[in-house]
Structures are given as structure tokens and as C-alpha cells.
Amino acid sequence: MIQVLHNPRCGKSRNCLAFLTSSSKKYEIIDYLQQPLSIKEIKSLIQKLQVSPIALVLQKESIWVENYKGKTVTDEDIIDALSKNPILIERPIVIYEDRALIARDLDKLKQFL
């Protein structure tokens, strides 16, 4: 089944769900803001996305700017920050089997599925 890391306040995330609904694909919504991902889950997600941890960070979020921007941070520091501050995680993220996609672009999402 398709899983979607969803933030209801994000327009791109809402568009992603609208696309999945209109395509009749079955999916499960993961409200990662209410139930934050564990460090293990974040590491698994990074592996499925095939990206470095920094690619998962919303670097314009105030938490990032105030606490991490311009500082030397390791991948482990970034993963720890994402687990403690789930608002920093890019969205939406679509997970299907052993792959994942940051689904901000619906054309990429169509190709992914």
C-alpha cells in the first residue's frame, strides 16, 4: 500500500492527496507531525529516498534557521533534529514498497507510481 507523510497545512501535500484520490489509488496517511518518526524510521526513509539527510530538511523553517543554519552538522545531527522537530521534514513524501519520493511535483509522482 502507498503511504503518504502528510502535513494538512501544506498545499503541496494536499495536492498530492487530491491526485492519489482522483487516481483511485489506495493510500494510508501518516501524520508525522502528530506521531513523529523515530530515528530508525527516518534512516529507513532516507535509504528509500536515496538522498542524504540534508535533502530531507526544510531549510527555511525557523527551527532550522535559528538552530542549525551555518553550523557544522553531521548526518546524525540532522537525523536527530528531524526526529525531534518533525516540522523540518520535507513533504509530502510518498512511500511505496522499498522506494520513496518527495512528491512536491505531481509529474514526478505520476512517474513514480
Listed in sequence order, the residues at least 6 apart from 35 whose beta carbon sits closer than 8 Å to its beta carbon are: none
Place of cell 530538511: 57
Say whether 10 is catalytic: yes
For residues 54 and 78, the answer to whether their CB atoms sit within 8 Å is yes
The catalytic residue among 2, 3, 10, 63 is 10
3-state secondary structure of 3: strand
CA dihedral 23, 105, 1, 96 (to 10 degrees): 140
Write the burial class of residue 113 (CB in 10 Å: 0-12 exposed, 13-18 middle, 19+ buried). Answer: middle
Q: Which residues belong to the active site?
A: 10
